[in-house]
Amino acid sequence: MSTPPTAPPRPPEAPPKKGAIDPRFRERRIEVRRTEGRRRLRVLLILAGFFFAALLAWGISRSPLLDVDHVRITGTVHTTPADIRAAARIHNGLAMLDVDSGAAAARLRAIPWILRAHVERHWPATVTIAVVERVSVAAVPAKTGIGVVDRTGRVVATQSAAPTGLPVLLGLPPAGPASTRIGGRAADLLAVAQAMPPQVAQRVAGIAAADGSWTLVDAGLYFSAGRIRRWAERNFGAGARPRSISASPVSTPTARRMGHRANGVSCMNPSTLAAMSSASSPSGCSLCVS
């Protein structure tokens, strides 16, 4: 009777290699690495989305949908809209995001005539520019031509002849280029020019700083102090002394009415200036102050 075949004996299992990783740990490590990869991919996709959104927004901002289509300018008298546009550096087709209101206003204030400027964006396609110009009050001889100045003594323009209706300030250093300020006794003479009523200023040819006191010039002739005193007494009564006005109290009401001293300059009040102007010839007169 034969015996059934038996299975060959198993070879002995090799001992585990030194440093081998358990398969369970290996699977766990693979799973962790996959999770980290998915997380990194998610972050990259989010960053890419932000990048493309920003790129799209930039493209829209540079498109005709959000550029300057209208520039509205108000307040100009001596300056032109073209000058305002050039100084502000704002033109049609400029991207609205590129309009720097503060910088544009600062550049506009550098224009000699401009006192204040306000620049504002109105989405989607309009920019408004509102300016306030300086007011000319007098003229000052310059090295070449005549400088026009405002109440602060700033030269706003230089031209070949004095503007009509503005008195000329004499006895001062020559006016410089536009945007500079006149020197000497400019503040005193400007105070006199601004104190004159319009009807007087239109007939006054000039205001000069001299060593004497108030002096009228009629048709190019300087009247002496005695003639001025006699003219004042004849028109305002005995005791009127337009040349002797000082900081101390004057002795007569007539002299008090004639004027007062301000900042070292004998200044006549508007009613006195009007009376003196009406008494002068139509050709105009000049006022010299000390």
pLDDT tens-digit series, residues 180-203: 999 988 988 898 888 877 777 777
Q: How far apart, in whole angstroms, are the C-alpha atoms of residue 220 and residue 235?
A: 22
Q: Which fold has domain 65-133?
A: Ubiquitin-like (UB roll) (3.10.20)
Q: Interior CA angle at 10 toward 7 and 14, to 5°?
A: 170
- Residues of the chain short of pLDDT 70, as ranges, are 1-8, 10-20, 209-290
| Sequence-ordered list of residues with C-beta below 8 angstroms from that of 73, at least 6 positions apart, any chain | 81, 84, 85, 128, 129, 130, 131
Which pLDDT score is estimated for 214? 39
Structure tokens at 180: 């500079």
Contact criterion met (CB below 8 Å) for 269 and 260:
yes
* DSSP assignment string, 156-200: EEEESSPPTT-PEEESSPPB-STT-B--SSHHHHHHHHHHS-HHH
Cis peptide before 112 (omega within 30 of 0): no
Cα dihedral across residues 130, 87, 81, 67: positive or negative: negative
Residue with tokens 């503005």: 166
Q: How far apart, in whole angstroms, are the C-alpha atoms of residue 22 and residue 33?
A: 17
* One-letter amino acid of 243: R
Residue ranges per structural domain of the chain: 65-133, 136-289
Which pLDDT score is estimated for 69? 94
Q: How far apart, in whole angstroms, are the C-alpha atoms of residue 230 and residue 236?
A: 10
Count how many Cα atoms sit within 13 Å of the Cα of residue 232 in the half-sphere of its side chain. Answer: 27
- Phi/psi for 104 (5° steps) reads -65, -40
Cα dihedral across residues 74, 76, 81, 82: positive or negative: negative
Tens digit of pLDDT for each residue in 19-77? 667 778 888 888 888 889 889 999 999 999 999 888 888 777 777 888 999 999 999 99
Which pLDDT score is estimated for 23? 79
Quick one: which of 215, 209, 217, 218 has its CA closest to 191? 209
CA separation (Å) from 5 to 2, 8, 12, 16, 118? 9, 9, 21, 32, 109
For residues 184-195, b (16+ Cβ closer than 10 Å) or e, as one string? ebbebbbbbbeb
Which pLDDT score is estimated for 62? 76
Return the DSSP state at 290: -
| Number of other residues whose CB lies within 10 A of the CB of residue 12 | 6
pTM of the shown model: 0.61
Partners of 159 in beta bridges: 146
Residue with tokens 């300018």: 73
Q: Interior CA angle at 20 toward 19 and 24, to 5°?
A: 135
